[in-house]
Amino acid sequence: MTDDLAPGPAAPARRGLIAFVRRWWWRIPLYFAIFSVVQVLVLRFVQPPLSAFMVARQLEAWGSGDFGFRIAYDWRDMDEISAHVPVAMIAAEDQNFPHHHGFDFKAIEKARQHNERAEERARKRNTTVQRLRGASTISQQTAKNLFLWRGRGPTRWLRKGLEVWYTVLIETLWSKQRIIEVYANTVELGDGVYGAQAAARTYFRKDARRLGPAEAARMAAVLPNPRRYSISRPGPYVQRRSNAIQRQMRHLGGATLLRQLE
């Protein structure tokens, strides 16, 4: 007579899974924390051969059948990049970069209030909001570009949490000069074009060290939507934003701004 109450073959598997979780639930976060600290420490001194965003874009191209697509990326140390480039990026993206510690809470609050007003106006007009204001700092964008993914869909909040962690790490373990140097070299400035040197060669046919303030401002003007806006064929929006960035560059003190990062 068969015993119907006898445990089936799934019971040992469940017990094994529970035992595995109990044994490893605290080790996996610890190992990740150690790995990420070492990762950030190494990249304080070593130039990154690629970024997570570059890898994702290359895989995206191959996945769509575009096997001829190639990433344009050419690292240059900060002394090989025109000082106008980092100043333009700070003016465009994060004017408090020299002073904050990775997160600009005043900018976050202003962005929240602006977006609430924009959404309220859109509801009254029965339309959708065309452009929400962000408040990510250059430190946050560097962390995301270098280590993470675009975070759409169900993984968005996981990516946000990891972005906070990596931002704290690079602000703790890197200098401000290193952060802006990595950002200027890895930020996307066109579809598959990453960093100041690749953008300078692609759009202006010159090295990044020879870029003037107007060219640097035009590069920064396409951020944070470099696939929507064009450096080589700037429309009215990019032209207006470029002019505004140049004014802000002068207001921030031009190249003297970089001395605050030392």
pLDDT (tens digit, 0 to 9) for every residue of the chain, 262 residues total?
445 545 555 566 677 667 666 776 778 888 999 999 999 999 999 999 999 999 999 999 999 999 999 999 999 999 999 999 999 999 999 999 999 998 888 877 887 777 777 767 767 777 765 666 667 899 999 999 999 987 677 788 889 999 999 999 999 999 999 999 999 999 999 999 999 999 999 999 999 999 999 999 999 999 989 999 999 999 999 999 999 999 999 999 998 999 888 7
Asked whether residue 119 is domain-assigned, the answer is yes
Residue 13 is assigned to a structural domain of this protein: no
Residue 5 lies in a domain: no
CATH number of the domain encompassing residue 194: 1.10.3810.10
Residue 248 falls inside a structural domain: yes
How many domains does the chain divide into?
1
- Cα–Cα distance measured from residue 221 to residue 231, given in angstroms and rounded to the nearest whole number: 8
| Other Cβ atoms within 10 Å of 258 Cβ, number | 18
Q: Which of 221, 242, 255 is nearest to 83 (CA)?
A: 255
Q: Would you say residue 101 lies in a domain? A: no
Residue 45: inside a domain: yes
Kindly state whether residue 132 falls inside one of the protein's structural domains.
yes
Peptide linkage before 154 cis (omega within 30 of 0): no
Q: Report if residue 3 sits inside a domain.
A: no
- Cβ–Cβ < 8 Å for 155, 86: no
**For the whole model, what pTM was predicted?**
0.86
Domain of residue 73: give its range: 28-96+106-261
